[in-house]
Amino acid sequence: METLFFVIISLVAIISAILVITCKNPINSALSLIMTFFCLATYYVMLDAPFMAAIQVMVYAGAIMVLIVFTIMLLNIRVNATQKHSHKVLLGSILGIFTLINTVVLLFKSQAAKPVVGGYTGEMIKNIGHSELIGREMFTTFLLPFEITSILLLVAIIGSVILAKKKI
């Protein structure tokens, strides 16, 4: 049952990801990308990570995609389907498929998938709660990277304010 569900979700995710790169209209690409993000959120629930699923839906499908759709509608780009660039599509597809083959070969050759038993199991996540475990880990072990992230956000705020000026 779980395998069947996994296959269905995989099919939806891959088909909508293909639609992202094949649609002519950027709005259709954005909607397909939101579909892919929801499929990934489903995967996260299946992987015992409900907090990450919630963040995926809120941050990606909510905030970032609203920003992208807002920009597409603000710029109101006309679609011109007259341009032909077949050799570029061929070369890019060959490179992408090469990436895929390389990754899958590495995946099946590698020995890295041996289970190293860590402290966190599915029952523990269900009993204590996923967000509590994440928060405990983030504010003890990863406190310094968390603080550095705030500097990154500050830089992003200043950068986008400066880029939004009239004269640039």
Partner 1 sequence: MENLNGYLIVSAILFAIGTIGVLTRKNAIVIFMCIELMLNAVNLTFISLSRHLGHLDGQIFVIFIMTVAAAEAAVGLALMIAFYNNKESIDVEDVNLMKW
Neighbours of 151 (CB within 10 A): 9
Q: Which of residues 144-163 bind partner 1 (CB under 8 A)?
A: 145, 149, 152-153, 155-157, 159-160, 163
Instruction: Map residues 95-134 to x or -, x wherever contact with partner 1 holds by CB under 8 A.
Output: xxx-xx--xx--x-----x-xxxxxxxx----------xx
- Contact between 137 and partner 1 by CB under 8 A: the answer reads yes
Token pair of 91 as six digits: 């070369």
Residue among 57, 43, 34 nearest 10 (CA): 43
Alpha carbon 79 to chain centroid, angstroms: 26
Report the nearest approach of partner 1 to the CB of residue 157 (Å): 8
| Shortest distance, position 110 Cβ to partner 1, whole Å | 10
Beta carbons of 52 and 71 less than 8 angstroms apart: no
- Output the smallest distance, CB 111 to partner 1, in A: 13
